[in-house]
C-alpha cells in the first residue's frame, strides 16, 4: 500500500466471529469485493446482512469463490443467503476456475 501510495485511503478493521465491525459505515460504501472469503465465514447471513447495511443504495458487491474449495451447491447457497438479506443478482460472470456473482443493493 505504501509503495502504491494508497496507505492514506486504506483503513484496517479487526473483525470478530460476531461482527465485521463496520456499523459506523452504514450507507457509505459503494462497492465490496469478497474474494475467497464467504466460504470461510462462520455466520454467512450475518456477513451478508452487515455488508448490505454498509452499502449505499445501488451499491454493489462482487463475490468470487474458488471451485477447488467451494462446491457449486455451496456457492448457490451463499448467493441465496445474500438474496435473503436483500441483495439482487446483477450478473453471474464466468471467471476461470471460480464461481462469481455481482450483487446489488436496491
Q: DSSP 3-state assignment of 100?
A: strand
Residue of 20, 68, 60 lying closest to 44 (CA atoms):
20
pTM: 0.90
Residue of 65, 17, 18 lying closest to 38 (CA atoms):
65
- Reading the block at residue 91, the C-alpha cell is 450478473
The pLDDT value recorded for residue 13 is: 85
Q: Which helix (H) or strand (E) holds 89?
A: strand 87-91
**Mean pLDDT of residues grouped by 10 in the chain (106 residues)?**
90 88 95 96 95 97 98 98 98 97 97
Amino acid at each position: 500500500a505504501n509503495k502504491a501510495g494508497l496507505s492514506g485511503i486504506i483503513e484496517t478493521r479487526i473483525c470478530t466471529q460476531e461482527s465485521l465491525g463496520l456499523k459506523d459505515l452504514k450507507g457509505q460504501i459503494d462497492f465490496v469485493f469478497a474474494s475467497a472469503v464467504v466460504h470461510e465465514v462462520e455466520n454467512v447471513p450475518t456477513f451478508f446482512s452487515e455488508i448490505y447495511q454498509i452499502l449505499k443504495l445501488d451499491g454493489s458487491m462482487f463475490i468470487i469463490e474458488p471451485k477447488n474449495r467451494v462446491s457449486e451447491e455451496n456457492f448457490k447457497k451463499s448467493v441465496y443467503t445474500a438474496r435473503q438479506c436483500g441483495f439482487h443478482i446483477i450478473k453471474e460472470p464466468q471467471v476461470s476456475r471460480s464461481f462469481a456473482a455481482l450483487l446489488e443493493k436496491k
